[in-house]
Structure 1
């Protein structure tokens, strides 16, 4: 019995949510132990990239069409930035569950971008989703606590918002990568993460942790390195797989919900941090905003070219799909032979007269 494509994508997205949170937990734990997370994560990413490169070489699965190269590189770049920003958000004081909730901005931003570039008005459901998102973000940030803590948690929440924006481009890039395999997309993310992690380690200096602490307990250091290697690989591979199998809006919804639930549970059981009621209300409003944006989508658009305008169409189709009518017009036979022309018209629902 063959499992439907979207069912596999849903399973991959939920699993990716868990492993993405485990990556953030590892960063938080290593900070508490004064171990250099970004330095070690760079090495783990390097090992994974080398392993995937050898695997693709043996399987001859590294071939790409010219138009797919930029999307594979783009997926890797934004994936690396997303990881670094998420970890920095956690280290700056944000809750793991709140990082996931604030990361849902990717759905709102991508939907707005798709509609604004296309010059279309926003529907009432999209306006409602934006309002829910804004209110939820304010409640999660808890301005009074942020000011009392000298803005550390506020900085973490701002970094989480930036991470959410990069996540939207991860989904779009993965879907536009065409026939590129999930292995190749993961390789791109890991190869670029090496640079991103080590650059961040150099930027943070001693704040990233003490490298000498790794030599104090070699067996423990090796075990933690292997665990970090595993969760990084699974989080990225599952995210790439989910992005290719499911529409971006569905993937974003599943990742947001999964990360929020497992994130707050990890905050409670791993760090003993109970989220405030106002934080949970804000997170619920933001998840409701994602659901509202997803349910507002209409059947898929049919445009599939690779020009700048078609990218906007693609983003609108992924995050805020619209009804369209396909009209086929058979031209008169020309000397060079018959020619068939297909026209795609965007027509608001209920405005079509026969």
Structure 2
């Protein structure tokens, strides 16, 4: 009897199945320091206790994407160890700030299954929740993954494709009760641009680029305890290349977006996302954003802004997203749709 974990294959999932993921992880200031060393993250709310206190919080919370990557990493051995591709995200919300010293765990429920026509793989939809040491949900999202079958002859399950919201409604955004941007310090935040300064349809080129290094992306992926073989084992892919974890691209693009969106401080919802093309060491990641929507909130001095964040490996100023055939352009790495909180 084997004692090692081969991971789940498509035929191992059942609708309604709940998976409690190992291993709980206590996050601390070391995670923040390493995160800011790996990415050019400079948003003031996550860099300064004093700035965060001035915004009504008890101190600086952990970066939103630290919470996301930590929870996501917990799910990999159970959901995507045998994945061919991570296909998308929906209905994501940050529900409660994560503070240094919090212990995070994750659990997922299978909400959709559909075998592919080739009979060798299928798509699994899961709704994942991250919880802290008080069992308080801090994050939730849906993702769907293409997973291999161990036995091509295993019978196909009844197809269930969940009906997912295209966008998290602004009324469903969770804003920390204490958060207050009415006395916001734009000078210390780094830019003067407020909610009123952005227009729907506006495109912002974030100018800067970062070339991805092999050691850095593997260090980051280990930090989140993500065990997917394709990120570490050069023999796991036919081309002999290590695939860069999509979350590494997300964090790099979000950090690059500081230049032009320094005041889009807090991510509060993930409406959708696609890892459009693979990223490898040696690629230079650049980013641009499009303002998709804006919404007022009842919180003091706070507006919500919906942004499309696109990461690409093309030339500076390249805003191509789709080909004439409607497919993602070959240089596009990430297409992410999210809501953020910004001072008014």
TM-score (norm 2): 0.29
Between Structure 1 and Structure 2, the one with more strand by share is: 2
- Higher relative CO (CA 8 A, sep ≥ 6), structure 1 or 2? 1
TM-score scaled by structure 1?
0.28
